[in-house]
Structure 1
Amino acid sequence: MRGFLVACAALVLPACAAVADTPPAAAAADAGHAMLTVLTSADAETQLMALVLTKAAMAKGVTPQILLCSAAGDLALKSPPPEALAPLQPKGASPAGLLRSLKAEGVKVDVCAIYLPNRPFGAEALEDGIGVATPPDIASVFTAEGATVLSF
């Protein structure tokens, strides 16, 4: 896991530096374009960081959408696992709490089309307002011109 986090940092830090060096006009040109955050990790720190970056992009004018698959789909449940509710440093946020906050701010949140069929429960277990994505709908998001896809 440590190697995975180091690898993620190696990818994210240069990207953050590039964003910091982006002239305001170029950043404004990105405003309003689609961004899809695909979250599959069961790791609470990875989940929270993915959502923090999604929120930061939204603050820059990007229109985010979140797709929760595999173990990360459990964030969409009315009763998420305890580790998804645990506050993490430095700000005491939890993955489930930040996901709910993003949803309340209008971010579209879906679980993967194969999430529910592979669980012992149905859509009634999902938090209100969380949908079930269809492959064609998600393909439309990530193939849109100028779209950004983050995968965690």
Structure 2
Amino acid sequence: MRMITTLGAIAALTAAFTAHADNAERHLLLLNSGSLQTQGMALVLGNAIAERGHRVDVLLCDSAGDLALKDAAPAALEPLKASPVQLLGKLQQGGATVSVCALYLPNSPHDSNDLREGITVATPPAIAERMTAADTRVHIF
């Protein structure tokens, strides 16, 4: 009997957590990969989430930070005929904020003047607040 009660409690908690996670209206994409296909898929998914009425924001870290640069020009992906930079721009046009992680610029030959319009440098406290907000789902690529 005790095993059934414990299993029931676990099932109820799992259902409550899943329902909460499915109701998240804010999504934070942490994009770290330099892989063109990974960048593209992350941003395709981000745009699909935004089209469902959710807010999507992007934090670019490591080699993915290069997407934030004015001179970024990765190749277009098939079958989309769009590059990750174009997909990122579409997210921005839809209201997404895009930032580079606080470590990106100090560890690259670039400075804030090299960033495309509308892209800022994130602060760890602001990102930590977003990551831990009850209404935010975090997706890491």
Query: Is the partner of 1:37 in helix, strand or coil?
Result: strand
User: Relative to 1, partners in 2 of residues 1:121 and 1:91: Cα closer, same or farther, differing over 3 Å?
Assistant: closer
Gaps of 5+ in 2: 1-18
- Residue 64 of structure 1, CA deviation: 0.8
Bigger CA drift: 97-106 or 49-58? Answer: 97-106
Aligned residue number for residue 30 of structure 1: 23
Aligned-partner Cα distance in 1 for 2:94–2:51: 11
Gaps of 5+ in 1: 1-25
**Residue 129 in 1 paired to residue 118 in 2?**
yes
Aligned residue number for residue 43 of structure 1: 35
- Residue 51 of structure 1, CA deviation: 0.3
Q: Cα RMSD over matched residues?
A: 1.6
- Higher Cα Rg, which structure: 2
Query: Is the partner of 2:89 in helix, strand or coil?
Result: helix
Tell me the number of residue pairs that the alignment of Structure 1 and Structure 2 aligns.
122
* Residue identity in the other structure for 1:30: N
Q: 1:71 aligns with which of 46, 63, 70?
A: 63
* Residue identity in the other structure for 1:64: V
Aligned-partner Cα distance in 2 for 1:98–1:143: 26
Query: Is the partner of 1:140 in helix, strand or coil?
Result: helix
Aligned-partner Cα distance in 2 for 1:150–1:132: 19
Query: Is the partner of 1:97 in helix, strand or coil?
Result: helix
CA contact (8 A) 1:30 1:62 kept: no
Query: What's the TM-score once normalised by structure 2's chain length?
Result: 0.81
Aligned-partner Cα distance in 1 for 2:106–2:119: 16
Aligned-partner Cα distance in 1 for 2:90–2:135: 26
- Residue 46 of structure 1, CA deviation: 0.4
CA contact (8 A) 1:110 1:132 kept: yes
Q: Runs of 4+ in structure 1 displaced over 6 angstroms?
A: none
CA contact (8 A) 1:64 1:107 kept: yes
Aligned-partner Cα distance in 1 for 2:94–2:26: 16
* Residue identity in the other structure for 1:147: T
**Residue 90 in 1 paired to residue 97 in 2?**
no
Matched-pair identity in %: 47
